Amino acid sequence: MASRLRFGIIGCGLIAANHVVALRGIADVDVVAVADIDVARARDFAQRHDIPHAVADAEQIFAAGLHAVTVCTPHAAHVQGVLLAASHGVHVLCEKPIALGLHDAERMVEATERAGVVFGVLFQRRFWPAAQRIRNALDEGRLGPPTCGGVLARFRRDAEYYAEAWRGRWSTEGGGVLMTQAIHHIDLLQWFMGRARRVTGRYATLAHQDFLEVEDTAAAVVEFTSGAVATIQAATTFSPGLGAQVWVSDARGATASVREFPEGVGFTDLWTLPGEEEFATVYHQRSEFDLPLRHIHENLVPYHRMQIEDFVAALRAGREPAVTGREAMRSLEIVQAIYESSRSGQPISLAS
């Protein structure tokens, strides 16, 4: 591995700003090129962040002699960015979800494995101290194997949010609240509870029919290989939005929970391990509801930085990153099973 790493960024939307800030904060890392199908946006982004090369065609970015790229495009373009990186022998870190479907996700994983490059997927909420606290308690045995758990995701998204052309469409976003908002919390749930084996779910569009073709409401029961059971309830129909919660409980009844409120901010709201009891008040009159998307992203900058730092450390150490491509398929598998179960009216068994 070179003493200085040359990074590129594919996609110059809002989330790309978190990537460039994180990369610029890491010693011996240079961001040298960006690509976006809107070349004016790429050039503006490059100028604002003092990046020497800006191109419209992602294929051209690799002429800058890159060691790694991050993929910050809309969901449907993730597969193209990752496969391009693999074809050039370049390491790649992709925003969530890994892909629109499991077939493309498998193609991405196999291509990067064949190329011998490191492939990671961004689930920065794993780096919240409150989420790490639960994972550590499980690893140390202070919290026993979960017997039950849940995701409660209650967000507000409106017509203005979905006015961006790629949002709210099956062909470009791949889904609604499950694919774009709650997938973060579903990732945490399976990180805490282990592999899912069967999913029964329902989704619907109940409040945003005028501007949305994907779901704004979903619910599911997830059974895990351990025998544990969890529930998922998610919607973008709340006004104001009330954030999200991921919780798990062991056979003794000890419960640990991470709460997201306002969006992008994670904290421990319930912790009933014996001798460590802790409870937090979530809402009050001065609560900040419904932050602008830019502010949500700003709240996540420290955790983007942590995961991107981990990815760079993985490149230098020759190890896997915190969230591999194959690991990122697990939350997508649950989301896709909810969709399939709703359409078929049957429980969906997952691959072991």
**ω into residue 97 within 30 of 0, thus cis?**
yes
Picking from 71, 93, 122, the residue at the C-terminal end of a domain is: 122
- Of 71, 77, 54, nearest to 308 (Cα)? 71
Same domain, 21 and 90: yes
What is the domain-level CATH number for residue 116?
Answer: 3.40.50.720
pTM for this model (two decimals): 0.96
Distance, in Å, from the CA atom of 210 to the CA atom of 130, rounded to the nearest integer, reads: 38
Q: Cα Rg for the chain, rounded, in angstroms?
A: 20
| Alpha helices, H only, 53-128 | 78-87, 102-115
306 domain residue, yes or no:
no
Q: How many CA atoms lie within 13 A of 235 on its CB side?
A: 18
Q: How many CA atoms lie within 13 A of 60 on its CB side?
A: 12
Percentages helix, strand, coil for the chain, rounded to the nearest 5?
A: 40, 25, 35
302 domain residue, yes or no:
no
Neighbours of 52 (CB within 10 A): 11
Q: Burial letters for 80-92: b for 16+ Cβ neighbours within 10 Å, e otherwise?
A: bbbbbbbebebbb
Same domain, 24 and 137: no
Distance, in Å, from the CA atom of 35 to the CA atom of 170, rounded to the nearest integer, reads: 24
Same domain, 118 and 132: no
Q: Looking at residue 2, what is its pLDDT? A: 66
- As beta bridge partners, residue 297 has none
Amino acid at 268: T
* Domain carrying residue 67: 5-122
Same domain, 140 and 112: no
131 domain residue, yes or no:
yes
Same domain, 112 and 222: no
Same domain, 261 and 208: yes
67 domain residue, yes or no:
yes
Distance, in Å, from the CA atom of 134 to the CA atom of 185, rounded to the nearest integer, reads: 13
Q: Looking at residue 286, what is its pLDDT? A: 86
Which DSSP state fits 145?
P
Same domain, 241 and 282: yes
104 domain residue, yes or no:
yes
Q: Looking at residue 1, what is its pLDDT? A: 64
- Block means of pLDDT (10 residues each) for the chain, 352 residues, are 89 94 94 96 96 96 96 97 98 98 98 98 98 98 98 96 93 97 98 98 96 97 98 98 98 97 96 96 90 92 96 96 98 98 98 72
Task: Give me the number of domains the chain comprises.
Answer: 2
What is the domain-level CATH number for residue 216?
Answer: 3.30.360.10
Query: Dihedral of the CA atoms 273, 278, 284, 290 (nearest 10)?
Result: -50
Collapsed DSSP state (helix, strand, coil) of residue 220:
strand
Distance, in Å, from the CA atom of 169 to the CA atom of 175, rounded to the nearest integer, reads: 7
Strands of 168-279, DSSP E = 196-204, 217-224, 229-235, 243-250, 255-260, 266-271, 278-279
Same domain, 97 and 244: no
Give CA separation, 192 vs 98, 139, 213, 307, in Å: 20, 10, 32, 18
167 domain residue, yes or no:
yes
Helix (H) or strand (E) holding 192: helix 183-193
Same domain, 209 and 227: yes
Contact 248, 255 (CB under 8 A): yes
Same domain, 284 and 168: yes
Residue 39: both structure tokens together: 């070349």
Q: What are phi and psi of 79, to 5 degrees?
A: -60, -45
Contact 207, 199 (CB under 8 A): no
Picking from 122, 141, 157, the residue at the C-terminal end of a domain is: 122
Same domain, 340 and 225: yes
Distance, in Å, from the CA atom of 322 to the CA atom of 328, rounded to the nearest integer, reads: 10
312 domain residue, yes or no:
no
Contact 235, 204 (CB under 8 A): no
Give CA separation, 122 vs 60, 226, 323, in Å: 24, 26, 7
Picking from 54, 89, 122, the residue at the C-terminal end of a domain is: 122
225 domain residue, yes or no:
yes
Same domain, 274 and 172: yes
